[in-house]
Every structure is written in C-alpha cells, then in structure tokens.
C-alpha cells in the first residue's frame, strides 16, 4: 500500500492523494498533482519526492511557506501522521511502510551557480558560491567540511580542460607497482569505491562532492533542483524543482528517477558536473 496524503480544511476531509509518483507538486495552479485553489497557496507551493518507502517534503520558495506539525519548515522527512499546513488547509501524511533512511539524510540543497557572463578585467577572484567552502586566495587548497553536511568537498587545483570550463576526466592517483616478495602473502581487502560528483564548469570547476549520504540535493532553488539518491542498485537522479529538467549526457530527464552510470555528465542550473567512482 502506497503512502498517501489526506487533504482537509477545518476538520472536513476534502480528498485523498496516493503518493504513487516519485515527484508530486502541491500548488494553486491546475497542473499540480495536488491542486488547492486558494490565494494563500502559491502557484507551485511545495514538492514531495517519494523514493522507495520514504517521502521528503520541500518548500518551493512559496510566498506564505508551510508548516509540519505546527512548525515552519523548508524541508522535512515525512513520518506517519505528520500534518502539513498550507494556509487553512491540512495535508495528513499516512504511511505504514518501513522507511529506508532518516531525516538526517535529507540535507540542505547544494547551490551551484552558473559562471558569470562577463568577468571584470584584471580580476581573477572567483564568485563566492553558497554551499561551497571558500578557499583563500594564494593558499593551498585543503579539505573542508561543508555546513550543509551533504558530504565533503575537496578543493582541487583545476588543470587542463577543467580550468577552461570544459569537461575533464577525473584525476586518478598514479599507482607504482611493486615486485611481489611472497606469492603466498594475504591480499589486502580492496578499498570501497566512493561515488563523487565533480564540478566541470563555473568558478567552482574542479571541486568534488562525495556522495556519502543516502540522499543529496543539488541545484539552485527557484531555478532547478535535483536529488541524488543512493540505492542498492546504484545512484539515481530525480528532478525536484524547475520547469526545465536536468540533462544527463545531453538528454533531458523525465519525471522518473534515472540511474547514473560512471562518467555521466549532469547539467543542472547552468553547471556541468561529472558522476564517477573513486578509490
């Protein structure tokens, strides 16, 4: 049985909506999956992303905001009997399914701004981007923890095509082979590969985000947002917000989740990034 939302006002039930799509929108306009014709509701007010047995609520920069159980929120990992408040309307979340993740895995969107159209002559200072750790000019890049907790950025020194805004192959450490001294020596366990997205264009070209969480959101709120999810079958990308859909290898996504393959190039909110494994 799929999870569902029960729409009501002043205690009177209006309609039930099964969460049978990976992404459903709530808003005043008719094209929304849950349309609420009321001036207190924005055209596209909120979105619910459902992955396996888990549903995540996100405010789409609405005018009047939303509440969950009486508390104002922008993002929320929905749990059974949660009540979403939009103006005078209530949406009760009902689910008896076992969840696969936790609220800690639904983190703040990593904002990736597109590069400026024109650079100021003589100024090489990159634009500061929310969601990315700032590396002081002239200092050696260092590993930094990002406040959003979606993972770890490694500030890399861009070289070659990546420095000029073109797609670049991931940097792989060279391995020096050593002669085997004992053929019977026990073999060390192979290190687990870590999934990464590396920014290829813009002022943050060369930086990496390790996908250590079950769910990571990427993009620019109000323009284009997608969510990357870790599942037993691999990593998937799902469109969350924006009229235009992200591109993977030049092809636009659909409403359904798309499984990522190594070295896929994602174009999101005007920024290109590459998905691959390292380690």
For range 92-97, the mean pLDDT: 86
pLDDT at 123: 47
pLDDT at 212: 85
Q: Is the pLDDT of residue 83 over 50?
A: yes
Any idea which residue has 């205690």 for tokens? 11
246 DSSP assignment: P
pLDDT at 203: 86
pLDDT at 82: 94
Q: Lowest mean pLDDT: which of 23-37, 108-122, 148-162?
A: 148-162
Backbone angles phi, psi at 202, to 5 degrees: 90, 180
Alpha-carbon gap, residue 207 to 133, rounded angstroms = 10
pLDDT digits (tens, 9 = 90+) for 116-157: 444 444 444 444 433 333 334 444 433 333 333 344 433 334
pLDDT at 187: 59
Alpha-carbon gap, residue 111 to 114, rounded angstroms = 10
For range 16-23, the mean pLDDT: 89
Alpha-carbon gap, residue 22 to 207, rounded angstroms = 29
pLDDT digits (tens, 9 = 90+) for 39-78: 999 999 999 988 767 788 888 889 999 999 999 988 888 8
CB 103 within 8 A of CB 55: no
pLDDT at 137: 41
Which positions ≥6 away from 219 have C-beta within 8 Å? 109, 110, 111, 112, 225, 226, 240, 241, 242, 246, 268, 269
For range 78-87, the mean pLDDT: 92
pLDDT at 10: 92
Which positions ≥6 away from 279 have C-beta within 8 Å? 191, 192, 193, 194
Alpha-carbon gap, residue 202 to 148, rounded angstroms = 20
Q: Of 240, 239, 234, nearest to 259 (Cα)?
A: 234
pLDDT digits (tens, 9 = 90+) for 168-190: 445 444 444 555 545 555 555 55
**Cα-Cα-Cα-Cα dihedral sign, residues 239, 241, 244, 246:** negative
Q: Is the pLDDT of residue 110 over 70?
A: no
What is the residue-averaged pLDDT of the chain? 74
């Amino acid at each position: 049985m799929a999870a569902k939302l029960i729409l009501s006002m002043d205690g009177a039930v209006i309609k039930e909506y099964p969460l049978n799509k990976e992404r459903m929108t709530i808003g005043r306009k008719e094209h929304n999956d849950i349309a609420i014709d009321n001036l207190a509701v924005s055209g596209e007010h909120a979105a619910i992303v459902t992955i396996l047995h888990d549903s995540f609520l996100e405010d789409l920069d609405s005018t009047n905001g939303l509440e969950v159980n009486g508390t104002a929120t922008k993002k929320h990992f929905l749990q059974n009997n949660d009540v979403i408040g939009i103006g005078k309307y209530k949406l009760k979340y009902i689910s008896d399914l076992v969840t696969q993740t936790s609220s800690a895995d639904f983190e703040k969107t990593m904002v990736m701004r597109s590069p400026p159209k024109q650079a100021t002559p003589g100024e090489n200072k990159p634009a500061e981007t929310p969601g990315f750790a700032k590396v002081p000019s002239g200092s050696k890049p260092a590993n930094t923890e990002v406040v959003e907790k979606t993972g770890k950025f490694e500030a890399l020194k861009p070289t070659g095509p990546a420095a000029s805004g073109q797609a670049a192959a991931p940097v792989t450490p060279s391995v020096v082979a050593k002669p085997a001294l004992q053929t019977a020596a026990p073999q060390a366990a192979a290190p687990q590969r870590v999934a990464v997205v590396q920014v290829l264009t813009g002022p943050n070209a060369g930086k990496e985000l390790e996908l250590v969480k079950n769910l990571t959101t990427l993009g620019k709120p109000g323009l284009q947002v997608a969510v990357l999810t870790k599942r037993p079958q691999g990593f998937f990308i799902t469109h969350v917000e924006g009229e235009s859909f992200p591109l993977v290898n030049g092809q636009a996504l659909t409403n359904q989740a798309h499984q990522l393959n190594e070295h896929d190039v994602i174009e999101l909110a005007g920024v290109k990034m590459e998905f691959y494994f390292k380690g």
